[in-house]
Structure 1
Amino acid sequence: MYAFFVAPFADFAFMQRALAGSLMLSLGACPVGVFLMLRRMSLSGDAMAHAILPGAAAGFLFYGLEILPMTIGGLIAGVVVALGAGAVSRFSIQREDASMAAFYLISLAIGVLMVSIRGSSVDLMHVLFGTVLALNNEALVLIGGIAVVTLAALTVLWRALVAECLDPLFLRSVSRLGSPVHFIFLGLVVLNLVGGFQALGTLLSVGLMILPAAAARFWSQRVGPMCVLAVMIGFASCVAGLLLSYHAALPSGPAIILSAGAAYMLSILAGSRGVLRSRLVHHRHRTA
């Protein structure tokens, strides 16, 4: 048991950094994923994950695989796309999901083109899928800072975020916080995707944000417990994925996301609000 579960993290510093980075990422990203899901913006999160690629590619183009330039570039690109898509949906007839899709497709194409101009296929794979096992101290500080900022913002804006999930039109009618909260929340999404980019790349970072949140939805109806459950599922997925990666020699990022996917499938079946429980309750009502 020790050799399988503990030894990889006890004996290797790169596994310790990967575990610390992925756990801190789950701490901030999973609650944000819950609000994304409740606001029916899960696919918008996926779109914004692709949207940070041009900024990260610009940082790579000028400085190579340096964390700070790629992070700043990704953050700027993500904010520009999020604000642009939000503005288009607010001031035109197009809905936010359509404008976000248009922006992210353009961003993805530009980003891949920019990386391809200077880098190799290995560099492109690094940008798209990340290298959680290669996290250094600078990346850990960045991810930890993002988690702290996210948790602080969620604490301050909690009631407004919950209200907007339930009835955004009502919030805007009784408070001026509607639009600012919406854009601040989009900023938190981008911030956590940029943090996830360091570990999981632009294509997989949204997976750790959405899958634990979607799994938690099958266990709870209340937002607070749902966020806690999502974080716990995220933690378990990171540990399981890293162990699977270590023992089976699999890519670490996909292994983490597949572990989260397994938790999601299990929750669909066995959750307190899942398929089996729903069918059992329905059967009891029919036979009563």
Structure 2
Amino acid sequence: MNPYEIFIAPFTEFEFMRRALAGVFALALGAGPLGAFLMLRRMSLTGDAMAHAILPGAAIGFLFAGLNLYAMTAGGLAAGLLVAVGAGVVARATGMKEDASLAAFYLISLALGVLIVSLKGSNVDLLHVLFGTVLGIDDATLILIAAITTVTLVTLAAIWRPLVLECVDPTFLASVSRAGGVSHIAFLSLVVMNLVGGFHALGTLLAVGLMMLPAATARFFARDLTAFVTLATAIAFTSGTIGLLVSYHLGTPSGPSIILVAGLAYACAVVLGPVGGLITRLLPRRHLEA
């Protein structure tokens, strides 16, 4: 089998592969920058919690309308925003830390969502909700993902400065501007929106993987913020493309294949990454070198 048949032919010969590739590209454009900022803000596990939080809302949409794109999207958005706000309110009104509050909310959400889907659907429907069907993306889903990505990029451009400053020095930002709170809410809303978009392609259990694994990988190669965000996006798209090819040639599920490729890239970065990787830390440093 020549390189053309391995890398190009699947996308030129099959429309469903081209749609899946376009969907992965759109997801990567939005998820890459958001994953980078989640890492910088030490909110990596928040992304995982929010991915599970959308499940009961999507499940309620499924309960009333079946596998309807718009019903499940609206339900997922509502549930994700409700959990984000609810966890924050509980953390501020009680002595519980926000991460513990999020953990409680996401565990309840996951169990509730699985229960609701099981009441009406079959095991196939449950697998669709949990793991997605990236090779089954239709035009309506692709338009939805592209619209979410467009809103994400435009919003990030508008809140970029306060978002960066809040990562570096939130106390200073609070002393000179009130934009910190607004940018934080906008940022969490973007995370929820992208997780809902990713949910339709990769399912709730894998949507956060395309957001966090490329960002974690890029962190081992970039110190500069612009390079970090750009590299995270590129790794997300590359992982998605290779994962689709692996799924096509080996007949494996497409969503898990994409995430496992991203996981392999992360494992290589842990060992070989020039910024804090294992080999770099083991090599002797010159005197006074940081």
- Summarize the alignment of residues 44-83 of structure 1 with structure 2, pairs less than 5 Å apart: 44-83=46-85
Aligned to 1:238: 240
Letter of the 2:281 partner, please give it. S
Aligned to 1:227: 229
Q: TM-score, normalised by structure 2?
A: 0.95
Contact 1:146–1:191, Cα closer than 8 Å, also in 2:
yes
1:99 matched to 2:104? The reply is no
Identity in percent: 60
Compared CA separation, residues 285 and 279, structure 1 to 2 (3 A):
farther
Superposed CA deviations along residues 157-216 of structure 1, whole A, max 9, x for unmatched, are 111111111222332222111222111111011000000001000000000000000001
- Summarize the alignment of residues 1-288 of structure 1 with structure 2, pairs less than 5 Å apart: 1-273=3-275, 274-282=277-285, 284-285=286-287
Contact 1:83–1:183, Cα closer than 8 Å, also in 2:
no
In structure 2, how many angstroms separate the alpha carbons of the residues matched to 1:163 and 1:93?
A: 28
Match of 2:96, SS state, is: coil
**Which stretches in structure 2 are left out of the alignment for 5+ residues?**
none
Contact 1:270–1:276, Cα closer than 8 Å, also in 2:
yes
Q: Quote the RMSD (CA, aligned, Å).
A: 1.2
In structure 1, how many angstroms separate the alpha carbons of the residues matched to 2:225 and 2:39?
A: 11
Superposed CA deviations along residues 126-145 of structure 1, whole A, max 9, x for unmatched, are 00000000000000000001
In structure 1, how many angstroms separate the alpha carbons of the residues matched to 2:89 and 2:126?
A: 31
Letter of the 1:124 partner, please give it. L
The range that moved more, 40-49 or 161-170, is 161-170
In structure 1, how many angstroms separate the alpha carbons of the residues matched to 2:66 and 2:137?
A: 16
Letter of the 1:36 partner, please give it. L
Match of 2:283, SS state, is: helix
Compared CA separation, residues 143 and 279, structure 1 to 2 (3 A):
same
In structure 2, how many angstroms separate the alpha carbons of the residues matched to 1:222 and 1:41?
A: 19
Match of 1:69, SS state, is: helix
State the 1:83 CA deviation. Answer: 1.1
Letter of the 2:65 partner, please give it. Y
Tell me which stretches of 4 or more aligned residues in structure 1 moved more than 6 Å. Answer: none
Compared CA separation, residues 165 and 60, structure 1 to 2 (3 A):
same
In structure 2, how many angstroms separate the alpha carbons of the residues matched to 1:98 and 1:171?
A: 26
Superposed CA deviations along residues 193-249 of structure 1, whole A, max 9, x for unmatched, are 000001000000000000000001001112111000001101110111000000011
In structure 1, how many angstroms separate the alpha carbons of the residues matched to 2:148 and 2:104?
A: 27
Aligned length: 285
The range that moved more, 137-146 or 164-173, is 164-173
In structure 2, how many angstroms separate the alpha carbons of the residues matched to 1:189 and 1:161?
A: 14
